Amino acid sequence: MNSENMPWVGFRVIPLVVIDQADDIKFVMDALLEGGIGVIEIGLRTDSALDAIREAVAEQKMVVAAGTVRTSKQVHQVLDAGVAFGISPSSSESMMDTVLNVGLPFIPAIATLTEAQVASDRGFTDLKTYPTDLLGGEKFLRSVGAVMSEVRLIPAGGVSEQNLSSYLSEKNVLAVSGSWIASRELIAARNFDEITLRAKRAQEIAKTHG
C-alpha cells in the first residue's frame, strides 16, 4: 500500500493537534505554516475533532491527516471529511481491512514485531510506533529495523524537541509525530506565537537530518 507518493512522504515532523474548539484550527494552521510546517495531524480525541478536520480540509492550506483513528466507523468518517491520510495508535485487523477496502492512505501503529509483520503482510510498510518512549525509544526502532528492513517507522509517544534529533538520526525513521509543537495547553492559552517558534525549531532540527 505504501509508496513514495503517499501524502506523508517528504515531511519529517508531523504535529499532532488536539482541538477543543473547532474554530481554533485556523489559528493553529497559520501558526504552523509560519513556522514552516505544511502538515497537521488532528487527533480524534475530542467532540470537536471532526468539525476541526472538516474546517482544516476546507482551508486547503496544509496536508491534513486524521489521527487517533481506531475503528472502521472512524475510517469512513475521516474519509468523508476529506483527509489526505489517517494515522492510528493501533493496528486492528478489522480497521486495516476497512482502510484497504476504501483506499484511504493510512499509517497503522505497532508495538511489537508481530504487529509489524501483520501490518506488513497487508501492505502497510510505513508504520507508527506507539508509545515509543515506553517501548524503549531508539533501541526499539533499531530492533525492528534489524529484522524488518522493508519497514519505515514514525515514532510517537514521548517525542519532544529534546529527543527529536536522536529519533530522526535512526536510518529507518521516516518522520516523527508529536504534540509538543502545538500542545493542547498552548492552544487553550491561544499562544500561537509559541507554536510558530516551536515549529521553526523543529524544522531547523529536521533539516539537519535530510
Evaluate whether 42 touches 25 at the Cβ level (below 8 Å): yes
DSSP 63: E
The per-residue pLDDT for 166 is: 98
> Is residue 155 reached through a cis peptide bond, with omega within 30 degrees of 0 on the bond before it?
no
Considering the candidates 59, 93, 115, 128, report the single residue annotated as catalytic.
Answer: 128
- For residue 34, give every residue at least 6 positions away whose Cβ sits within 8 Å of its Cβ, in sequence order, or none: 196, 199
Q: What angle do CA 92, 65, 60 make, to 5 degrees?
A: 155
- For residue 5, give every residue at least 6 positions away whose Cβ sits within 8 Å of its Cβ, in sequence order, or none: none
Q: Supply 22's cell numbers.
A: 473547532
Q: Consecutive sets of 10 residues in the chain, 210 residues long: mean pLDDT of each?
A: 78 98 97 98 98 97 98 98 98 96 97 97 97 98 97 98 98 98 98 98 95
The per-residue pLDDT for 5 is: 74
Question: Does 26 qualify as catalytic in the annotation?
Answer: no
Element (H, E) at 122: none
Considering the candidates 4, 26, 34, 41, report the single residue annotated as catalytic.
Answer: 41
The per-residue pLDDT for 68 is: 98
DSSP 173: B
Question: Does 41 qualify as catalytic in the annotation?
Answer: yes
**3-state DSSP assignment of residue 123:** coil
